[in-house]
Structure 1
Amino acid sequence: MVRSKHFIYAALGTLGIYLFSAKLRRVKTEYQSYFSQLNLKLKERYSGASAAIVDLDRLDANVRFIRNKLGNEYKLRLVTKSLPSLDLLKYLLETTQTNRLMVFSEPFIVEILTNMEFASLDILLGKPLSVDAFSRLTTYRGWTSIHWLIDTKDRLNQYLFYAQRENLRIKISLEIDIGLHRGGFETIEDFTEVVKIIQQNSRYLELTGLMGYDGHVPYVPFYINKQKAIQKAFIKTLNRYRRFVDELKKHYGAEAIRNMTFNSGGSHTYFNYSDVKSSTAINDIAIGSGFVTPQQFSNLIKLGHQPSLFLSSPVLKKLESSKLPHAEKFATLLNLWNPNLSVSYFTLGGGWPGELISPVGMRRNHWWDENDLGYSNLLPNQSIVSSSDKNNIRVDDFVFYHPWQGDGMLCFRKLVLYRQAGFVGEWSTFNGGN
């Protein structure tokens, strides 16, 4: 009995110490200086409305950083799935001085061919499309500016049959597997077979290059020296790519090879190419997310990029409590357990694919805002975030999210453009919901 009492006293003492220390861990909720200014500008111009924000000053800085890293040895190709706005693409085509796009879906291709000067564009598919999708797209003017990606002999034969039937000539780029193992030609033997088919049917097919994605390189398993392991994996992909190009040289002349596009790279890996300019066959680097630097590209922030895309929503309601439905009596205990959930803010929008970034000290309330899937909320039309009672956040102030990927902007129909002096315009996204 005595031992039981001692155990109870010890447990209560431990609980008391924990609750006391929890009180000491209250986090003050406040804006960083950048978001404090952004909050004020939003309240002046877009009060009461959720907004996707592109900081043009930061975007321009990222453009300069990328151009300096790549130099003039590589052609730059903009990845549209991470930059899903015609206005944004037009801006970047001009500021980066490129005419090259990588497109991944039929709807995006339609929008580009319908609304942009396609005659000046060089468009490479980032993934293969079915021959049925291809046939639909050939009804649009400008489809001949596209390099159609082929990953298997069967798909090549489907395209060839369609071209013969319709008397068309198609630009073909071959997808090669350089280590990602997501499809494409893996062996030189299979690759050579399709190259010969293309040459034998040159009236209908024109080989314009290769595409080999190196997206696996940064994700090598943990080693004592991970950077060395990443570099080793990168060199391995370059060597594998070169073997395919060397095979092409057996079938095409030097001038034809010089005019071909050998595409690779991505926002997670493009910077590696600055050190191998004279030793790689690759001449075309694809980058998308690097320009806006979303949350899942934190390695780029360490490199020198600046996040330039944010999603925001105003506070609709502020409740100086954190009561749970069906458990109101436990509100006091809950606030003792975690004082940083003691104040609730219901925002106009939310549930977006991103991380809450400002105000500092504000966080998702997981008691409300999570189910087994980990991303939805109890009241999806009014997302909830919480903070401690040490705050000066009011109704109509804005909460800011850093989207996981660039395509987070598709949650909105428009992007609002910000520079240091304030908001300077708006762009449309490809499509949107908010």
Structure 2
Amino acid sequence: MNLALKEQRSGASAGIIDLDRLDSNVHFVQKQLGDGYQLRLVTKSLPSLDLLKYMMVKVQTNRLMVFSESFLAEILSNLNPDSLDILLGTPLPVDAFIRLVAYNGWNTINWLIDTNERLNQYLYYAQQEHIRIKINLEIDVGLHRGGFEITKDFAEAVEIIKQNSQYLELTGLMGYDGHVPYVPFYINKERSIRKTFVHVQELYDQFVDELKKHYDAKAMSTMTFNSGGSHTYFYYSDYKSATPVNDIAVGSGFLAPKQFSDLIELGHQPALFLSAPVLKKIESSKLPHAEKLSALVNIWDPNLKTSYFMLGGGWPGELVGPMGLKRNHWWDENDLGYTNQLPNQSILSGSDENTLNVSDFIFYHPWEGDGMLCFKKLVLYRQNSIVGEWDTYKGGN
């Protein structure tokens, strides 16, 4: 990868997607998940329209989960919304909804609602404007991040939708299970996780059972019951007959960023990297304000002897290559623990045995997929060559 970048992208920092690894992760997810569920792409973890278009073809899905007003606006403006099944991953304030109504295709979106108060706000606007809104209800299946927690409030919301069917249409439920992998105080981790996962399905079932009191089987058969995520999608393959969930959301699993090390242990491959070329190499590292102590420091830790200053850097990720480098905490640390004295020229250190030189590239494994937003362009890498570029997401949060 270093050689390919030096030949074709010399002197420029870049986000890089390894397409071979991305394709491998797609195959892995599909194999783990099987045929029993619809797969939905989580756009906040794949923040590039070019990447999304590639993934929709590769995964053979038109289902997206979108979290921000601006990214939703970009999707509506650049993709054909009539060909998409979009579910919000977070409720949006009614003011944001009103702004988005100006875009073609807004009425194809499943708008997430978490409270009766918000539902009534959407209903009031629909009545004033004589429009019909697709509603997906957020339910709390143990994460406690919001959504309907008790069936009484949930049933009230369902009745509000039914009684105002000329303005509102219920299209399904969303119950995120993001808490499942983080069971505290476990003795047997895997057993505790699976027990929590089963409890999620039991809670989900309670809401679906309540829904059956209001809708017949034909209406229920067209609804989307969404859950899952990159940390939990693989548990669903053994649970098809015992869960109401029919729609699984996955995003980060396709890129396997650093925060998803459990997926790498499972078999995913890191497919996204952040890179910067070496701008300067200083063989005898000196410390500001302590030049006379530099020799002692270098003896104490020979891996601080040579300094490498990058073009940019400070990327949100873990240093992964080349081997033999480390953060220089004499330069790099302050009260916040992450901002260095030269944030436009991040510093790394190594021993004088390291063969890294000016113009060679240094690579980071980003903590999250949105680390790619450090760059306007993504470099595409396949079979040891640079094969193209993709744009990253242009909007804000």
Please give the alpha-carbon distance, in whole angstroms, between the structure 1 residues aligned to 2:333 and 2:43.
31
Q: Does 1:410 align with 2:373?
A: yes
Distance 1:427 1:345, change over 3 A: same
Please give the alpha-carbon distance, in whole angstroms, between the structure 1 residues aligned to 2:214 and 2:60.
33
Please give the alpha-carbon distance, in whole angstroms, between the structure 2 residues aligned to 1:313 and 1:98.
34
Q: Which residue of 1 aligns with 2:167?
A: 204
The number of aligned residues is 396
* Correspondent of 2:155 among 182, 192, 214: 192
Q: Which residue of 1 aligns with 2:219?
A: 256
Question: Is the 1:411–1:432 Cα contact (8 Å) retained in structure 2?
Answer: no
* Correspondent of 1:88 among 46, 51, 62: 51
Q: Unaligned regions of 5+ residues in structure 1, if any?
A: 1-37
Q: Secondary structure at the match of 1:401?
A: strand
Question: Is the 1:410–1:432 Cα contact (8 Å) retained in structure 2?
Answer: no
Alignment of 1:24-423 (within 5 A): 38-423=1-386
What are the superposed Cα offsets for residues 353-376 of structure 1, whole Å, 9 maximum, x if unpaired? Answer: 100100112111111112222221
Please give the alpha-carbon distance, in whole angstroms, between the structure 1 residues aligned to 2:395 and 2:269.
25
Q: Which residue of 2 aligns with 1:22?
A: none
Please give the alpha-carbon distance, in whole angstroms, between the structure 2 residues aligned to 1:269 and 1:61.
19
Q: Secondary structure at the match of 1:42?
A: helix
Per-residue deviation at 1:320? 1.0
Per-residue deviation at 1:222? 3.5
Question: Is the 1:149–1:173 Cα contact (8 Å) retained in structure 2?
Answer: yes
Matched to 1:410, the amino acid is L
Please give the alpha-carbon distance, in whole angstroms, between the structure 2 residues aligned to 1:152 and 1:248.
16
Distance 1:423 1:300, change over 3 A: same
Q: Unaligned regions of 5+ residues in structure 2, if any?
A: none
Matched to 2:80, the amino acid is E
What are the superposed Cα offsets for residues 47-80 of structure 1, whole Å, 9 maximum, x if unpaired? Answer: 0000110010100000001111111110000000
Aligned CA-pair RMSD: 1.0
Q: Secondary structure at the match of 2:356?
A: coil
Per-residue deviation at 1:324? 1.1
Please identify runs of 4+ aligned residues in structure 1 that moved more than 4 A.
none
Please give the alpha-carbon distance, in whole angstroms, between the structure 2 residues aligned to 1:280 and 1:334.
59
Question: Is the 2:70–2:395 Cα contact (8 Å) retained in structure 1?
Answer: no
Moved more, 154-163 or 385-394: 385-394
Question: Is the 1:169–1:203 Cα contact (8 Å) retained in structure 2?
Answer: yes
Matched to 1:195, the amino acid is V
Question: Is the 2:74–2:395 Cα contact (8 Å) retained in structure 1?
Answer: no
Per-residue deviation at 1:322? 2.3
Question: Is the 1:322–1:342 Cα contact (8 Å) retained in structure 2?
Answer: yes
Question: Is the 1:413–1:432 Cα contact (8 Å) retained in structure 2?
Answer: no
Please give the alpha-carbon distance, in whole angstroms, between the structure 2 residues aligned to 1:431 and 1:404.
20
Moved more, 276-285 or 361-370: 361-370
Per-residue deviation at 1:409? 0.3
Matched to 1:418, the amino acid is Y
Per-residue deviation at 1:432? 8.3
Per-residue deviation at 1:246? 0.8
Distance 1:386 1:52, change over 3 A: same
Question: Is the 2:19–2:271 Cα contact (8 Å) retained in structure 1?
Answer: yes
Question: Which protein shows a greater Rg?
Answer: 1
Per-residue deviation at 1:220? 0.5
Please give the alpha-carbon distance, in whole angstroms, between the structure 2 residues aligned to 1:278 and 1:332.
67
Moved more, 371-380 or 167-176: 371-380
Please give the alpha-carbon distance, in whole angstroms, between the structure 2 residues aligned to 1:188 and 1:367.
56
Please give the alpha-carbon distance, in whole angstroms, between the structure 1 residues aligned to 2:386 and 2:112.
40
Q: Percent identity?
A: 70
Matched to 1:301, the amino acid is I
